Structure 1
Amino acid sequence: MTYADPLNDPFTGSGARWMDGRAALVTGAGQQGALPGVGYAVARVLAGHGARVAVLDRDPEAAARTVKLIDRDGGEAMAVLADVTDDRQVADAVSAVRERLGGLDAVVNNVAAGDPDGVFDVTPDRFAALMTVNLTSAWQVMRHTVPLLPRGGAIVNISSVTVAARGPGMVYSVAKAGLENLTDGAAATLGPRGIRVNCVRVGMIWGSFAAANLPEEHREPRREATGLRTEGTAWDVAQAALFLLSDRARWISGHTLTVDGGPSGATPVAAPSTPLP
């Protein structure tokens, strides 16, 4: 498939809308730069399928850009400003969403930050901060949004293929492994209430995060490291999240779906550090 415009979902208008009448919250959904981030792409795809989307981000300008593009295409969105590492801000953000949208049917936990230092090389403060942004924040968002979710509601957590990487341990990978375990536990806990919880494990896509933190010459080796020898984008992740949030996945819960272009046996090029919120 050719992506004529990297900031537009290539499947928009291709068929039935899977999220009509539903409300969704996507964290880290503000748009930065010329390429899509995962949260941005998920928000755009859900809106394109009829969802009213709460675009949560700590950067008001980034959130506003996403909302503007959703509005431009005839969707409905609201910007919600919050630092998801702060439980009080999460609670206030969820209250604002409930007041505006009346409730929630779907939640996507996308916020993350990394550090290339080994698990025993980081300071205790850095370790705690990385665990908070990559794991605790998702638990906080789920804790506050679960009371709003009806039977048939769904949660998707965004993980990374680095959880399965062999080599020097990184706190990011440890936290993402915890997130996948949290997904399993939440699915078992919320299953009797009819709420599904799944995870998307993201491969070495090329999007706003990679472009901002890696030199261009890393792009081709990352593409070659996939089994399909094609470059993944945030839209590929967003389509997987859409499926897991929709009724098409009504009997899927506690599952981690890997979106990485398939195994090749090659070692992928990892992304370097990004600043914490």
Structure 2
Amino acid sequence: MGALTGKTALVTGASRGIGRAIAERLAADGALVAVHYGSNDRAAQQTVAAIREAGGQAFAVRAELGVDGDVDTLFAGLEAGLDGRPLDILVNNAAIQAYDATVEKATREDFDRVFAVNVRAPLFVIQRALPLMPDGGRIINISSGVTWFATPEVVYSMTKGAINVLSRSLAHTLGARGITVNTVSPGITETDMNAWLNEGESARRVADMTALGRHGQPADIADAVAFFASADGRWVTGQTLEVNGGLFLGPTGER
């Protein structure tokens, strides 16, 4: 039996990239996984099919986040799929980037949209999930290394800083129920958002500033999430785990 057999999980933004890897890992560990996605039906169905083909259990839930009624839509689909079961694990992974939202170019529309998806949605998803979550549940929020190394896209970085604070605050608030709340903070990871890593020179430069000599893969992040979701993570809460292969630890020298 897997570490999560009999458990249920919701992973937001689970049709591609890190979210898909998390959904597949939790399902491989035995959880019934709700694969949330915003609009890409084909990608979501591929994720569900891959999980089922590997012997796991999953169903898709479509809901655009950051718009009016987003949480209602999400939980209508989630509760239908759970069919009366509780929600044991919540992974807030869905996020968007606005590459023009720098201090010079950011607009109010950029700010409102990115914060609506990256900060407002996770908060109210958690609020709605708590009545469905038994004592001893797990909440894992996905942040980013941009909370400690600088990038020009300041609005996105601000949202991830807010996620770190959200996790720490909720860990304190929900401790009485035995619910752990932690943050997984990926470093430079190969996803659609980081498509530039497919360029050979870019990948080499990232490898040169990472102690373990390569950029991250979605499965690297999923493994850390699986730890927090499992019984092994029962005594860890309110923490931010940097999962980045030793990014920016110092000069790496010759390889």
- Same fold, judged at TM 0.5 (above): yes
Which of residues 124, 143, 161 in structure 1 aligns to 2:108?
A: 124
- Match in the other structure for 1:5: none
1:219 paired with 2:219, answer no
Q: 1:211 to 1:60 in 2, by over 3 A?
A: same
Which of residues 166, 173, 177 in structure 1 aligns to 2:157?
A: 173
Q: Distance in 1 between matches of 2:153 and 2:55?
A: 45
Q: Distance in 2 between matches of 1:192 and 1:81?
A: 32
Aligned-pair identity in percent equals 37
- TM normalised by structure 2 equals 0.90
Gaps of 5+ in 2: none
Q: Distance in 1 between matches of 2:97 and 2:191?
A: 15
Contact 1:200 1:237 in 2 (8 A): yes
Q: Distance in 1 between matches of 2:115 and 2:182?
A: 20
- Match in the other structure for 1:106: 89
1:74 paired with 2:55, answer yes
- Match in the other structure for 1:190: 174
Contact 2:15 2:35 in 1 (8 A): yes
- Match in the other structure for 1:93: 74
- Match in the other structure for 1:43: 23
* Aligned ranges 1:194-213 → 2 under 5 Å: 194-211=178-195
Q: Deviations over 1:209-230 (max 9, x none)?
A: 3227864431211122211213
- Match in the other structure for 1:30: 15
Contact 1:18 1:49 in 2 (8 A): yes
Shift of the alpha carbon at 1:116? 3.4
Shift of the alpha carbon at 1:91? 2.0
Superposition misfits of 4+ residues, deviation over 4 angstroms: none
SS of the residue corresponding to residue 204 of structure 2 reads: helix
Q: Distance in 2 between matches of 1:178 and 1:150?
A: 26
SS of the residue corresponding to residue 107 of structure 1 reads: strand
Q: Deviations over 1:182-214 (max 9, x none)?
A: 111111111112211100001002234322786
Q: Specify the code of the residue in structure 1 equivalent to 2:42.
A: E
Q: Specify the code of the residue in structure 1 equivalent to 2:202.
A: H
- Match in the other structure for 1:261: 245
Q: Deviations over 1:169-190 (max 9, x none)?
A: 6100011001100111111111
- Match in the other structure for 1:160: 144
- Match in the other structure for 1:7: none
SS of the residue corresponding to residue 235 of structure 1 reads: helix
- TM normalised by structure 1 equals 0.84
244-253 vs 78-87, which moves further: 78-87
Q: Specify the code of the residue in structure 2 equivalent to 1:230.
A: R
- Match in the other structure for 2:37: 57
202-211 vs 42-51, which moves further: 202-211
Q: Specify the code of the residue in structure 1 equivalent to 2:90.
A: V
Number of corresponding residues: 247
